[in-house]
Structure 1
């Protein structure tokens, strides 16, 4: 682990907060709210890292605009699960972020990377396609990353394959389309307050530790042998026009409720898989010094850069999500063995 000299939160905010807020889509934060969040991190002994202001993002158009599939007037039969897993292990950590800090190695707080093994500050779709992967499916060359966890000065990595769900976020699961190649976005924000973290549309019960749920920050103690877990869902409606946006979020949207059912809004009519990070970090009984590279537990956020093999992703979406199944990483539902699997025993298309 490389140690970097911390910058005081207030000094950091003077030079970078406005740019960070713009880059993460949380412009509604007031300066006072931001300073309060920084004070909380500072008082907990977790000074925010020194970072340069991120460069301005831009709208990145897709080659061919995509129209959404109108939801069925009569929704398909209810399916409690319509999902598959992407099981991916941690490959490396680095103070890089190719979405928010492209071309600026060392410019970000430290991140923990899963999936594509080559992800760094200079990653592009072309470079990711040439990389390897820690995911069980060789065709998933996507890059997934989140702020690195520390226990004091010691880096803490999730162990083994982590669960990254691909689900339907809308009622009509038959209308979900695969991600466009090159789609990228940020979920949540390192600058969000504790309340905003808990109220975020993607949040699920905050941080979990044994039987202790609904924590906005890390509990100071965990049951011996338990894990620190967090689940966080991404938006699942796409505007069909852009692979990225200036704040890395505006081209995506969470579903809206219409007549009691989740639908994609007219502004973002294309239903795509809803990613859900389900991360499990090893924890000792004393977790009083645990924090993220981005600050307190409520600064948790993550990034996704899609580089799936297109036919493989399409097969998984069609078989598992559109098919209303609860699939593993092969696209196999143990409760419906008669439906078979989307991939073979090598996790490849048959």
Structure 2
């Protein structure tokens, strides 16, 4: 079991930390992955995408989202970044699949699904933030959808799940899917590395240009390795999957195993991963980090959640993702 007191304090005692915490509703749910499968209409597995409406099949790094997007699903109106994760499904005893819906986080209940996004510049409000905001063209991935063991998952340190006892639960994180019904749903937590090589905006595997601290974690003020000396904000997603309609244990496998599976076929949870394409307008993110904003951020322009919810895209890969499906979208096998 993993316990990260930072997440708890960030939610319940925000005066302890400088951070941005905001919601972004879903832009679209479909099989596109412009980082791993650029130019491919119909990526191997399904994703849920939030952020600016410049999201497309290729995401040309020379065409910054902040230059081409006309709206964003995020409450900070200058954030046209794109954030995405895989999609969770319930696997029934008869082998069919049902997409698990997403619900709003604490304080964002009006949001139509999506995610809560954090950018944290420092773990203490007594010190000036000294992080370098991501640059135009920056992108990264964390996690590996092929991983199926705890040892593999531990390489990423902070890709976890919280079995929500209520909406405010922020303890008891695990690397694998929860093994019992969660009264208020399952929250997937995706924390990205906080050290950058200072040169490359991307890398062939979309990970090598960033790193976790050489020891400890961001929350314990761990130092950056010499290969990646530039401290960047901690980017952190919270995604609340509304698994409550599947909590009846009579619906679960007769062997007692848990029934949830990621859209890439992972029934263990160890393949948890997230993708990011930077798209803040101008120097907005750097200003916010320098200001040590604390949830609210006067230096940034905001929009209402209903306004963000109006920003949406139609599926480019048109397929049924909401009915009871005989296979996962794209035909991904369960492993």
Matched, 1:117 2:53: yes
Q: Do 1:182 and 1:243's aligned partners in 2 also have CA atoms closer than 8 Å?
A: yes
CA distance in 1, matches of 2:158, 2:81: 23
For 2:279 and 2:102, how far apart are their aligned partners in 1?
22
Partner of 1:276: 236
Q: Contact between 1:197 and 1:216, CA under 8 Å: does it hold in 2?
A: no
**What's the offset of the Cα at 1:220?**
4.9
Task: Select the structure with the greater relative contact order (CA < 8 A; seq sep ≥ 6).
Answer: 2
State the secondary structure of the residue aligned to 1:199. Answer: helix
* Rounded Cα–Cα distance in structure 2 between residues aligned with 1:223 and 1:233: 22
Alpha-carbon distance in structure 1 between the residues aligned to 2:222 and 2:29: 36
CA contact (8 A) 1:207 1:228 kept: yes
Larger Cα-atom Rg: 1
Structure 1: any 5+ residue segments left out of the alignment? Answer: 1-78, 332-340
TM-aligned CA deviation for residue 194 of structure 1: 3.1
TM-score (norm 2): 0.67
Q: How does 1:131-210 map to 2 (within 5 A)?
A: 131=69, 132-152=71-91, 153-160=97-104, 161=111, 162-168=115-121, 174-196=129-151, 198-203=153-158, 206-210=161-165
| Cα-to-partner distance string for 1:296-325 (whole Å, 9 max, x where unaligned) | 2221100000011122112211112xxxx5
Task: For residue 169 of structure 1, report the CA deviation from its aligned partner.
Answer: 6.6
CA 1:346–1:292: 2 relative to 1, 3 Å:
closer
CA distance in 2, matches of 1:168, 1:227: 29
8 Å Cα contact 1:90/1:157 also seen in 2: no
Map of 1:291 onto structure 2: 261
Q: Deviations over 1:216-261 (max 9, x none)?
A: 433354244x111122210011111111111111111111239x85
CA contact (8 A) 1:170 1:255 kept: no
- Aligned with residue 65 of structure 2, among 117, 128, 136: 128
Unaligned runs of 5+ in 2: 1-14, 92-96, 105-110, 253-257, 305-335
Q: Measure, in 2, the Cα distance between the counterparts of 1:80 and 1:194.
A: 35
Give the root-mean-square deviation of aligned CA atoms: 2.7
Q: How many residue pairs were aligned? A: 252
Match of 1:238 in 2: 196
